[in-house]
Structure 1
């Protein structure tokens, strides 16, 4: 498996991948596919943190991070997601490989926190904890334990407060 940064030539494939990975109902495009497109169009998708996984030359997974804010700080954290893997490659390690790669890249870029909304059972293996334990408030209190954060090397305990995703998240 090869993991590399997204290129402009990958955009249509990434859209199709998220449509397939998150499809809940036939004929209905899941919100994750246009979300990536909107983050990119708004300039909030962080190029160095938009990664594709390739197997045999085919794109089988994608993960991205976008600009975010904790309190008044718009530089300390990123919002992760979506993380999508083609259905025929799920449970084969693609998602884990993408997570390790994007967390390592975010750390190398100096971010202090990665925040996401997802399954605690899945994301705990990557060091994610309920964001509330780090005094990070969710945009929606009903998210509870599913709103999670992972500290990185650049983390400072003062990075607390209300979390805000990039504007595209509120349009979905």
Structure 2
């Protein structure tokens, strides 16, 4: 029987997390692999929101949320979310997202933003950010920049990810 467990990242997971993002985003050294390392070193890092999925003892997925802002209001920026190609489409990404959102809700986070496919992230309650008065960091992202607003409480303004996102090319 295959068992999937989602837990917080542990110090010994760093190399496996990098390997997951390398595989999930096309091999080589994709920006996502380096981004996670840069986020870990940033003041916006929230260790309780760096989660891994482990299947039968193997680390097969990772997601992280870091401190972001909408104007002066604290928010969470999700990303990257990576799953090994061999297990994509088998619920690993969903399990990671549900765990991440549950942890965010338990800590009374009210705004969670991400860049991703609306058809996928809509299942978690995400909506196009501009529909609720939040401007994407890059206006060209359009409907792909989405937010989840808890309890109907929102803020308007421009979403700002943690500083390492600004260094992406």
> TM class by shorter-chain length?
over 0.9
Counterpart among 101, 104, 111 of residue 102 in structure 2: 104
Give secondary structure in 2 for the equivalent of 1:66: strand
Structure 1 equivalent of residue 146 of structure 2: 148
TM-score, normalised with respect to structure 1: 0.92
Structure 2 equivalent of residue 54 of structure 1: 54
- Give 1:99 shift: 0.6
1:67 and 2:63 correspond: no
**Which aligned pairs between 1:1-172 and structure 2 lie closer than 5 A?**
1-23=4-26, 28-73=28-73, 75=74, 77-153=75-151, 156-157=153-154, 159-172=155-168
- Give 1:131 shift: 0.4
- Give 1:134 shift: 1.0
* CA offsets 1:20-60 (integer angstroms, 9 cap, x no match): 1011xx5x311111000000011322111110000111100
How far apart in 1 are the matches of 2:24 and 2:148? Answer: 24
Alpha carbons of structure 1 residues 43 and 7: separation in structure 2 relative to 1, 3 Å: farther
Moved over 3 A (4+): none
Can you give the 5+ residue segments of structure 2 that lack an aligned partner in the other structure?
none
Give secondary structure in 1 for the equivalent of 2:48: strand
Number of corresponding residues? 165
* CA offsets 1:111-152 (integer angstroms, 9 cap, x no match): 001100000011111111000011001111100000000112
How far apart in 1 are the matches of 2:17 and 2:102? Answer: 21
| Cα RMSD after superposing both structures | 1.1
Give secondary structure in 2 for the equivalent of 1:110: coil
- Give 1:104 shift: 0.5
